[in-house]
Amino acid sequence: MVRVKICGIRTWEEAKMAVDAGAHALGFVFASSPRRINPEAAREIILRLPPFVARVGVFVNQPRYEVQEIASFCNLQALQFHGDEDPAYCQRWPGYQVIKALRVGADFAPGAAGSYPVDAVLLDAYVAGKYGGTGESFNWDAAVAVRERVDCLILAGGLNPDNVRLAAEKVRPYAVDVSSGVEEGGAKCRAKVERFMQQVLGAC
């Protein structure tokens, strides 16, 4: 079964919408982004989540002490590093699962994914000057190549209710990750979230 992470959660209403639709994980962005949330607001949402919904913090090139403070305060389960963090940075995060996001551009080398000592690798589209949430997609052949090199692959980058089933069937990732693809006017849209989940389930 392909799992689903809804990223860029900013309100309890969005979180509940995603959970009610069957999302397996929620992402909270603590880096510069239109979807950034402050730790206090994220903590309030996380404390209300039901069991078995994974809580993922998204960070971009942030000091280790800052990540540790936020992770502990918000009771996160997983840390997603979505910037230029190197393999050494991704090591030694006891108590947390670690996801390293890699951006797929023209010069992307699938073999590089295997150099990160992490629990999962997430692939996103490369867009100059941006670290995610762009709504841009990439050639999924690169994802297929990475899947053969890592134990756990999460597919992101331009996924939406219209293409996620095809992506899941082609790549067969452990999970898919969506943010802007289920939004309307900058906020999570219930109809899009529900349709996205239905399409993923249809691919299983």
Residues assigned a catalytic role: 7, 124
Q: Containing H/E element for 27?
A: strand 25-29
What span, in angstroms and rounded, lies between the C-alpha atoms of 4 and 52?
13
The phi, psi pair for 16, rounded to 5°, reads -65, -40
SS3 83: coil
Amino acid at 75: N
What span, in angstroms and rounded, lies between the C-alpha atoms of 194 and 76?
25
Contacts of 148 by beta carbon, 8 Å cutoff, 6+ apart = none
What span, in angstroms and rounded, lies between the C-alpha atoms of 39 and 42?
5
What span, in angstroms and rounded, lies between the C-alpha atoms of 204 and 200?
7
Q: Are 178 and 142 in contact (CB under 8 A)?
A: no
What span, in angstroms and rounded, lies between the C-alpha atoms of 9 and 11?
6
